Structure 1
Amino acid sequence: MSNCWRLDDGHQTLVLAATDDLLPQVIYWGQALLGSEDCDDLAAAHKQDFTGGMLDGNPDLSLCPEASQSFPGQPGLRCRDAQGAVLHPKFRFVSAEKGWQALALTYSDPKLGLTYQAHFALTPDTGLISTWATVTATNPILLHWLAAPVFPAPHYSTEMLSLSGSWIGEFQVNSVPWTAGMHMRESRTGRSGHEHFPGLIIPECGTSNTAGKAYGFHYGWSGGHRMIAEELPDGRRQVQFGNATDSELTAGLHFETAKLYAVFSDHGLNGCAVAFQRYLRDHIVTFPQSAQPRPVHYNCWEAIYFDHDIPVLQDIASQAKALGAERFVLDDGWFGQRDDDTSSLGDWQIDPRKYPDGLGPIVDHVIALEMQFGLWFEPEMVNPDSALYRAHPDWALGPKDQLLGRQQMVLNMALPQVGDYLFDSIGALLHDYDISYIKWDHNRNLPISDAAQTRSSYALLARLRAAFPHVEIETCASGGGRIDFGILQHTQRVWLSDSNDALERSRIQHGAALFLPSAVTGSHVGPRLCHTSGRTFDMQYRAWVAAQRHMGFEMDPRELTEIEALALKDITQWYKDNRAWMANGDILRLDSADPSVLAEMQLARDGSRFVVFSNQLDSSAQINSRPLRLTQLDPNAIFAVHLLNRDKVHPLSRGNLLLKSQELQASGAWLMAQGLNLPYAVPSSIWVIEGRKLSL
């Protein structure tokens, strides 16, 4: 070994080592090593045996595995020259730049005119590693695949956890066993997608939410991605992430992956989750007014759909304000000739039939109520039945005879005139009205996977934010179809799902908490009768599910009974009283011995207080509730714990449990080892338990 590099942040160590001047490989990634460790010795100890039926050695599982090195698995770079000939680069060391907890490595193949760079940066306050790769060519090349720097996967693991889903069923956690060969997932829809969230968590054997070792990955790109998790014939394992294959449609001289975010945890899955949550909240998302609390949100979509009537909307806004809302969002239907979803996308001019005096009457009414005003757009789309398409059919992406999605096509965002038109149209409204919020929707797949589309959408978002820095933007794509750290560099809130079914939302939110903090995760109290599932839930259940994230309402407030309105106001006030510390706290998934219970704990950043939500999804197999263990508390501190909604104890709960009548005082050690005994719970109900650390 001739080159070794290591990065440390006090929690973890990453060691790279290279054979001679070849590309380096990760020879160690895990809990912090002694500073006195000799990297050359570690590199020597990392070598594995070989035997019959193999090469006379093991080709390095490098940062960019090369076919030219007889690597037996998937290579990290696949490209062709401008004439279509396959290139097999042989990269050799050029230089290394080592900074404070950062590293940049440069390698080249002079014969092919290719240069490869790998970048690494550690963020000590979160434990997250961000890494990306670039390839530069002296002559244009056609890129098929470029992986971000490649990591090995642990041998002491039998499964990997990925997140899949569908419309109104996002962020479902799936366990996939490690087997010989390749497990590949690819989103080719032109967005990160409902189907394949760009994340992966690899737990070691015996790891749970709260204990054990795990390795987490997230690829921060919104334009479709590819993930490879491969077990080689010799037993080694690799993880690759990059943009979707063949999404660079033209030859070029420079290509760059998005950032791959990686984290090592020795606190179970929660260690990965907390690192991702903190990094996104503290280092990626930039809020227009970061010092202000997250406002309670009201969206009118499921109250009116396309039926816009100014007096009705004014009445709804007034009632939403009385319930505790602090922001009113006017959703789809205010522009063009938009009476349903078949027309007018792209015509971002106010519909004079519905708003003869413009948006002024509704905006002024909302502002007079001391609420923020927000507006819905779907800028990247166009309906064939629109003035814009009739004037500029050449602005649509893909063939004219393509299959429509939701009666719409996609605008070619890479065309400068498209970006200018959208900036001018949206900007005019932001200039003319007191609008402080945009719901930015994206309701269909791209006809082709095109990385230029994503880069151009990012550029438009950045341009609007520079011109209107006071405006907050929510990313929505039929719910959770475009959620990733790439889009969140330009937005401040995600619409996690179009489902306001509180039970389904609970599952979706629980899965998303592996990556997303509460501050950016929108969650709304939906109608009594859920519009996507047809199920009915009481107000207590709906409101407590929404209060676990960035709370909002999305129903017609005129449907509420007096009892429902009172319950919603009370829980909304609880959210307001607690949102400051919750927005900066950690969401911790709890291990439940009862599969019918979905439980999580939100812990203040300083560990001084917490709230537990124990969600009874279904009937339990046993009669009594099993104890619920808490996590990440100071074991030597005493906590005062009380059941916040004890007034909702069901008549079938007949025992004299302590929490039903009084406060519990117990050590963090006891709460984590023994856990809480909770009252009997019926399906679709939640226990809310608050705790605070007592002064010693």
Structure 2
Amino acid sequence: MIQCWRLDDSRQTLVLGSQNDHLAEVVYWGPRLSDTENLTTLYQAQLIDVTGGMLDQNPELSICPEATRTFPGQPGMSLRGAGGKPLLPKFCFEKAEQKPGKLTLTFSDKSEKLTYTARFAIDERTHVIEAQAFVDSDAPVHLHWLSAPVFPATQFSDEMIDFAGRWCGEFQMNRTPWSAGMRYRENRTGRTGHEHFPGLIVPCRGATNTSGHAYAFHYGWSGGHRMAAEELPDGRRQIQFGHATRVEMEAGRHFETAKLYAMFSDDGINGCAIAFQRHLRDNVVTWPDADRPRPVHYNCWEAVYFNHNLPELKDIANRAADLGAERFVLDDGWFGERDDDTQALSDWEVDPRKYPDGLKPLIDHIHSLDMTFGIWFEPEMINENSNIHRAHPDWALGGEDQILGRQQKALNMALPEVRDFLFDRISAILRDHDIEYIKWDHNRVLPSPDAAQTRGSYALIDRLREAFPHVEIESCASGGGRIDFGILSRTQRVWLSDSNDALERLRMQHNAAIFLPMAVTGSHVGPRECHTSGRVFDIRYRAWVAAQRHMGFEMDPRELTEEEVTVLKEVTQWWKDNRHWTIGADILRLDSADPAVIAEQQLADGGGRFVVFAGKADTSAQIAPRPLCLTRLTADATYRIELINRADAPELSRGNPLLKTETLEVSGAYLMNHGLTLPWNFPGTMWVIEGTKV
């Protein structure tokens, strides 16, 4: 007997099928099928042939491949009984529950007394499929591995794209050719990690940013994950995502994966990006005040570090407000005896040496400048040289002789008493002060991965969100070490990287846009000499790179020249004047014919206007700029095009291309097929082009 189910949106169809009550498998995933398609025929048609050297029947590549079905690849689950005996379940169909856009399939193994449940939901507007797996047992069992529902990977793909990184170098794209065997990546740092963002793109042959078919995945979990992209000997391919292996330390009766977000795009990698951006911004993030414009952000970290001085901070705040800042964030150093990074973490009480009258005088001053106030915490961490560690050394996670990270240990967030302590201390600060923002940091990896640590951190954040619903939270982990949809269901902003180097930021932002919208991606104008790279960039480049995302400043404004102040004010005002539409715009990566140019197009909802940021990352191989083709415009519409920073052209730009001297009116077909002819410019500069449908 064959049973089949389908989920559809206007773009795609997902068909699952089960034969002889076995676990279901994905039998079709791709462009939208006719409503009259015979699903049983699809199930039968996708079965592959049998030849020499094979079993008499091919095992299903199911949503949780089972070792007991002679499956030749990686199984989707690994369990042991309480006594350590391996469990090899053989699940049989129990029931299906289907509602519009949702499907829940339940399978059971009566002999092992196990139940496996898979849930799928498809969003008609964003085109994102959410998939999640659950295992329940009558008796406690040990879980070593559980994959979210397994999707097949297309055999029309030559390569896969995943993401590596490091501190100050997040979101680096890896392209790996498909071959027999497995691309296995596992992050065991205990947090999402700089090293391997939990995302994967599978482009079909010939796909680019702007055209072709592509499939994409993201695993929304903050505690470290495992990814397996495997090609079986018969040519079939599977994608598995789940928590890192062996992170459930205790036997249990219920386990579940995080949500796996997946989608098919018929519009290149940008189709995946738009789906992720919209789904995260509109369906995952919950905003304290969704109608409030995103404020221009100022963070004082790279201005003062630990040297907090009230008159100095007031002066800096005055200058930040004059530049256009609307939020002031007091970073590390306001609590305990926190004079450097060796001490006082977890002593979350205001330092009376630096703030003899408390934080109120500074907060009152910030408010008098029409800025809101934010503050830095690193709740999950503790210094050995702290009052709390001396009182509760047993609260620290890991052994006494562990290697420290930034002179600190992690607190054991699985302990209720630790969460209660942190809630009380943080609540006291939030209750006694008018604070609307927390920068929540996480500056070291864990001594060992433990899913209970992540669940404990989630529980604390959830509790604080409930008690202080007006407070916005930024997820920071030495920059981009904890960015995923799991943490972003509890926070509203991420700090993409500790690097404020504009060139590094340009590259990282370009790749991160596959997953992150502008509204959540913090990007700041850093110091003239970048503190993490030593490079020096012109204020125009630094400002425009920051204006591509949620704009802010993170430098000492006292270093700025009069010209730099003028430029920064102008760019900041441009950002404010346009944020009402750029916040909801789709960020589209452009296929630049010149590899030295990293360009994107932010297209307004409805397509009536756009802005193009064309950043020069290196010296071009050829003399004159190559045309830059735009995307997703209406071919027969006319667009008014203006280079808004044409005055930034250097003296060596001696010609007069039309865009450099006046506004153009051209068709969408021309812009998408011939492209814009830009003026010449130096590396480390940015052209900004506005377009409006006439």
Q: Smaller-chain TM-score range? A: over 0.9
Q: Cα deviation per residue 1:533-574 (whole Å; 9 max; x = unaligned)?
A: 000001000000000000000000000000000000000000
Tell me how far 1:679 sits from its aligned partner: 0.4
1:262: which partner in 2? 262
1:634: which partner in 2? 634
Structure 2 Cα separation of the partners of residues 119 and 560 of structure 1 = 54
1:320: which partner in 2? 320
Q: Following superposition, which runs of at least 4 residues in structure 1 exceed 3 angstroms of deviation?
A: none
Q: Which moves more between the two structures, 533-542 or 634-643?
A: 634-643
2:3: which partner in 1? 3
Tell me how far 1:142 sits from its aligned partner: 0.4
Q: Secondary structure at the match of 1:332?
A: coil
1:410: which partner in 2? 410
Tell me how far 1:669 sits from its aligned partner: 1.2
Indicate yes or no: 2:117 matched with 1:117. yes
Q: Cα deviation per residue 1:84-115 (whole Å; 9 max; x = unaligned)?
A: 11111000000000011100000000100100
Q: Cα deviation per residue 1:440-484 (whole Å; 9 max; x = unaligned)?
A: 000000111100111111111111011111100000000000000
Structure 1 segment 101-500 matched on structure 2, within 5 A: 101-500=101-500
Tell me how far 1:580 sits from its aligned partner: 1.4
Q: Cα deviation per residue 1:512-552 (whole Å; 9 max; x = unaligned)?
A: 00000000000000000000000000100000000000000
Indicate yes or no: 2:57 matched with 1:57. yes
Structure 2 Cα separation of the partners of residues 477 and 334 of structure 1 = 19
Q: Secondary structure at the match of 1:494?
A: strand
Structure 1 Cα separation of the partners of residues 143 and 615 of structure 2 = 48
Structure 2 Cα separation of the partners of residues 313 and 653 of structure 1 = 42
Tell me how far 1:244 sits from its aligned partner: 0.5
Question: What is the RMSD computed on CA atoms of the aligned residues?
Answer: 0.6
Tell me how far 1:368 sits from its aligned partner: 1.0
Tell me how far 1:577 sits from its aligned partner: 0.4
Tell me how far 1:398 sits from its aligned partner: 1.2
> Percent of aligned positions with the same letter in both sequences?
65
2:545: which partner in 1? 545
Q: What is the letter of the counterpart of residue 480 of structure 1?
A: G
Structure 2 Cα separation of the partners of residues 653 and 647 of structure 1 = 11
Q: Cα deviation per residue 1:101-144 (whole Å; 9 max; x = unaligned)?
A: 10000000010010000000011110000010000000110000
Q: Cα deviation per residue 1:461-513 (whole Å; 9 max; x = unaligned)?
A: 11101111110000000000000000001000000000000000000101100
Q: What is the letter of the counterpart of residue 420 of structure 1?
A: D
Q: What is the letter of the counterpart of residue 6 of structure 1?
A: R
Structure 1 Cα separation of the partners of residues 7 and 617 of structure 2 = 44
Q: What is the letter of the counterpart of residue 45 of structure 2?
A: A
1:23: which partner in 2? 23
Structure 2 Cα separation of the partners of residues 356 and 650 of structure 1 = 51
Q: Secondary structure at the match of 2:405?
A: coil
Q: Secondary structure at the match of 1:607?
A: coil
Q: Secondary structure at the match of 1:130?
A: strand
Structure 2 Cα separation of the partners of residues 640 and 103 of structure 1 = 46
Q: What is the letter of the counterpart of residue 499 of structure 1?
A: S
Structure 1 Cα separation of the partners of residues 568 and 656 of structure 2 = 29
Normalising by structure 1, we get a TM-score of: 0.99
Q: Secondary structure at the match of 2:457?
A: helix
1:621: which partner in 2? 621
Structure 1 Cα separation of the partners of residues 652 and 335 of structure 2 = 53
Q: What is the letter of the counterpart of residue 373 of structure 2?
A: F
1:87: which partner in 2? 87
2:68: which partner in 1? 68
Q: Cα deviation per residue 1:31-73 (whole Å; 9 max; x = unaligned)?
A: 0001111001111110101111111111000000000000000
Q: Secondary structure at the match of 2:48?
A: coil
Q: Secondary structure at the match of 2:289?
A: coil
Q: Secondary structure at the match of 1:361?
A: helix
Q: Secondary structure at the match of 2:642?
A: strand
Structure 2 Cα separation of the partners of residues 297 and 653 of structure 1 = 34
Q: Cα deviation per residue 1:630-666 (whole Å; 9 max; x = unaligned)?
A: 0011112110001010001122222221111111111
Q: What is the letter of the counterpart of residue 650 of structure 2?
A: H
Q: Secondary structure at the match of 1:515?
A: coil
Q: What is the letter of the counterpart of residue 373 of structure 1?
A: F
Structure 1 Cα separation of the partners of residues 171 and 92 of structure 2 = 41
Unpaired runs of 5+ residues, structure 2, are: none
Q: Secondary structure at the match of 1:422?
A: helix
Q: Cα deviation per residue 1:406-431 (whole Å; 9 max; x = unaligned)?
A: 11000011111111110110000101
Structure 1 Cα separation of the partners of residues 630 and 341 of structure 2 = 47
Q: What is the letter of the counterpart of residue 684 of structure 1?
A: G
1:566: which partner in 2? 566
Indicate yes or no: 2:524 matched with 1:527. no
Q: What is the letter of the counterpart of residue 429 of structure 1?
A: I
Structure 2 Cα separation of the partners of residues 489 and 118 of structure 1 = 21
Structure 1 Cα separation of the partners of residues 648 and 294 of structure 2 = 28
Structure 2 Cα separation of the partners of residues 57 and 104 of structure 1 = 28
Q: Secondary structure at the match of 1:41?
A: helix
Structure 2 Cα separation of the partners of residues 8 and 128 of structure 1 = 11
Tell me how far 1:399 sits from its aligned partner: 1.2
Structure 2 Cα separation of the partners of residues 166 and 625 of structure 1 = 32
Structure 2 Cα separation of the partners of residues 580 and 633 of structure 1 = 20
Structure 1 Cα separation of the partners of residues 195 and 635 of structure 2 = 40
Q: Secondary structure at the match of 2:197?
A: strand
Structure 2 Cα separation of the partners of residues 62 and 243 of structure 1 = 19
Q: Which moves more between the two structures, 111-120 or 46-55?
A: 46-55
Q: What is the letter of the counterpart of residue 188 of structure 1?
A: R
Q: What is the letter of the counterpart of residue 48 of structure 1?
A: I
1:45: which partner in 2? 45
Tell me how far 1:670 sits from its aligned partner: 1.1
Tell me how far 1:667 sits from its aligned partner: 1.1
Q: Secondary structure at the match of 1:145?
A: strand
Structure 2 Cα separation of the partners of residues 605 and 146 of structure 1 = 39
Q: What is the letter of the counterpart of residue 377 of structure 1?
A: F
Q: Which moves more between the two structures, 645-654 or 442-451?
A: 645-654
Q: Secondary structure at the match of 1:632?
A: coil
Q: Secondary structure at the match of 2:626?
A: coil
Indicate yes or no: 2:666 matched with 1:659. no
Normalising by structure 2, we get a TM-score of: 1.00
Q: Secondary structure at the match of 2:348?
A: coil
Structure 1 Cα separation of the partners of residues 3 and 451 of structure 2 = 35
Tell me how far 1:19 sits from its aligned partner: 1.4
Q: What is the letter of the counterpart of residue 620 of structure 1?
A: S
Q: Secondary structure at the match of 1:689?
A: strand
Q: What is the letter of the counterpart of residue 596 of structure 2?
A: S
Structure 2 Cα separation of the partners of residues 423 and 368 of structure 1 = 29
